[in-house]
Amino acid sequence: MLKKIHCLSLLAAAFICSPIAGWDTARAEEKNRVFEIRTYYANEGKLDALLARFRDHTVALFKKHGMTNIGYWVPADNKENKLVYILAYPSREARNKAFKAFLADPAWQKAFKASTKDGRLVKKIVNEFLTGTDFSKIK
């Protein structure tokens, strides 16, 4: 009977402590988390095709390769044919690994080839890496 109570106590302690241990892991992951803001400048007349490629292929493929899609936007006054989006990753190393896998994915290569058969969609890409501040709701 005493052995049974001791085992139950250990199980209860493990159950109670496991979320706490998980919090430490979550905090460490949150501290290393990196965001990438990417701005695509579409070639004249190609923005709709670029948006379609993201909508129909790219977003799902990013998710497949472990990238977190935060959001996608176009400026209200979009004279430069821009698409701006933010992705999140557990770390910079995870980002590099995920992007490499994404670029090598046959589904991406097929979608890219099909979408550019009438010319390149993008003339310029600008990206920047960001980390959360201590007061940001998203870290």
pLDDT for 13 beyond 60: no
- Sheet with 34-42, side-by-side order of all strands: 68-73, 82-89, 34-42, 122-130
Model pTM? 0.78
Q: What average pLDDT does this structure show over 30-53?
A: 94
Query: Which whole-number Å values give the CA distances from 138 to 31, 70, 88, 130, in the listed order?
Result: 11, 10, 10, 11
> 38 CB contacts (<8 Å, ≥6 apart)?
84, 85, 86, 87, 125, 126, 127
> 102 CB contacts (<8 Å, ≥6 apart)?
61, 62, 64, 65, 67, 108
Q: What are 76-128's pLDDT values in tens digits?
A: 999 999 999 999 999 999 999 999 999 999 999 999 999 999 999 999 999 99
